[in-house]
């Protein structure tokens, strides 16, 4: 099945303190004390809501300010917090602008307005997931040969997928190597007996790069034997996977990922 290319929905807005100061003067941003008073929550409860992504704040002159719409009874709070959790990969200022901008894909209404209608809300969930995923990329780089510190291995191919970083690592890596995606070069690929796979995550804006895993793969006697190295964890062996003599190394890696 062919994959439909996503249309980028991101609107770039300058995060200027002057703009947020205007929002504060207009009552569109609340201090933490004002927000807690209107939400009737304790500092501990607010911390949990913030950690989950259900609410968020922007920093102005070193202080956090919360969007007033998060306490506005005009909006369905349960739906709004659900959307906010979807938007979590994006920086807080971008989440703020996303929720207050009009989108053609929503019928020229804002995400906040879309909360009121079941049909619009369902469409909003689709738009929000696609938008938020653009702020985090999972990158899978397949290299030929056995890993050795300080040695640069030849790159077979690199796959990239814009996807929610909270999803399972193996699922994100599989998506990065899917057919017809951002896989370069496109192939054909060699059949290899040893390979090293690096899985990283890049954040936008930035970028900041996080090393998530390294897979050391040895193909022998019809099976792929894989050991995984994760940050701050000891090496572990993954399930042995049956492969075919005709499988190129990208196919082998996909089978390893599918088995985990």
DSSP calls for 184-204: ES-------SEEEEEEEEEET
Q: Report the run of H or E that residue 86 belongs to, with start and end.
A: helix 77-86
On average, the pLDDT of the chain sits at 90
Task: State the Cα–Cα distance between residues 90 and 204, nearest whole angstrom.
Answer: 8
| pTM greater than 0.85 | no
End-to-end, the C-alpha distance of the chain in Å comes to: 23
Residue 7: what pLDDT? Answer: 40
Please determine, for residue 224, whether its predicted confidence score (pLDDT) is greater than 70.
Answer: yes
Residue 205: what pLDDT? Answer: 67
Please determine, for residue 4, whether its predicted confidence score (pLDDT) is greater than 60.
Answer: no
User: Is residue 11 domain-resident?
Assistant: no
Among 84, 112, 133, residue at a domain's last position: 133
Residue 208: what pLDDT? Answer: 74
CA atoms within 13 A on the CB side of 198: 20
User: Is residue 3 domain-resident?
Assistant: no
- Do 119 and 215 fall into the same domain? no
DSSP calls for 113-180: HHTTSHHHHHHHHHHHHHHHHTTEEEEEEEEES---TTPPPPEEEEEEEE--TTS-HHHHHHHHT-TT
Among 85, 114, 133, residue at a domain's last position: 133
Among 114, 133, 152, residue at a domain's last position: 133
Task: State the Cα–Cα distance between residues 9 and 136, nearest whole angstrom.
Answer: 15
Residue 207: what pLDDT? Answer: 64
Q: Between 69 and 209, where is the model more confident?
A: 69
The number of distinct structural domains making up the chain is 2
Q: Residue 125 — pLDDT band, cuts 50, 70, 90?
A: very high
Of all residues in the chain, the percent with pLDDT exceeding 70 is 92
Closest Cα partner for 181 from 96, 230, 254, 244?
Answer: 254
pLDDT, tens only, 60-119: 999 999 999 999 999 999 999 999 999 998 889 999 999 999 999 999 999 999 999 999
Average pLDDT of span 54-61: 94
Angle at 202 between CA 195 and CA 163, to 5 degrees: 90
pLDDT, tens only, 242-255: 999 999 999 999 99
Please determine, for residue 9, whether its predicted confidence score (pLDDT) is greater than 60.
Answer: no
Residue 206: what pLDDT? Answer: 65
Residue 162: what pLDDT? Answer: 87
User: Is residue 187 domain-resident?
Assistant: yes
Task: State the Cα–Cα distance between residues 175 and 130, nearest whole angstrom.
Answer: 14
- Domain with 98, as residue range(s), is 17-133
Q: How many Å is the Cα radius of gyration of the chain?
A: 22
User: Is residue 81 domain-resident?
Assistant: yes
- Do 154 and 129 fall into the same domain? no
């Amino acid at each position: 099945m062919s994959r439909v290319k996503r249309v980028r929905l991101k609107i770039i807005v300058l995060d200027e303190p002057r703009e947020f100061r205007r929002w504060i003067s207009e009552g569109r941003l609340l201090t933490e004390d004002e927000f807690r008073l209107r939400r009737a929550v304790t500092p501990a409860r607010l911390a949990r809501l913030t950690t989950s992504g259900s609410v968020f704040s922007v920093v102005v002159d070193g202080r956090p300010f919360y969007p007033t719409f998060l306490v506005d009874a005009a909006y369905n709070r349960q739906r709004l917090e659900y959307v906010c959790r979807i938007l979590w990969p994006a920086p807080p200022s971008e989440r703020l602008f996303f929720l207050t901008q009009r989108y053609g894909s929503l019928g020229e209404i804002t995400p906040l307005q879309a909360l009121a209608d079941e049909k619009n809300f369902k469409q909003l969930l689709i738009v929000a997931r696609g938008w938020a995923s653009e702020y985090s990329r999972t990158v899978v780089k397949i290299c030929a040969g056995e890993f050795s510190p300080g040695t640069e291995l030849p790159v077979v191919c690199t796959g990239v997928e814009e996807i929610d970083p909270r999803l399972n690592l193996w699922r994100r890596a599989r998506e990065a190597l899917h057919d017809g995606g951002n896989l370069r070069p496109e192939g054909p690929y060699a059949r290899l007996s040893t390979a090293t796979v690096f899985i990283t995550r890049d954040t936008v804006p930035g970028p900041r790069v996080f090393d998530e895993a390294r897979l050391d793969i040895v193909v022998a006697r019809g099976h792929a034997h894989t050991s995984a190295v994760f940050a701050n964890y000891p090496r572990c062996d993954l399930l042995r996977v049956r492969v075919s003599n005709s499988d190129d190394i990208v196919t082998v890696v996909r089978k390893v990922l599918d088995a985990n």
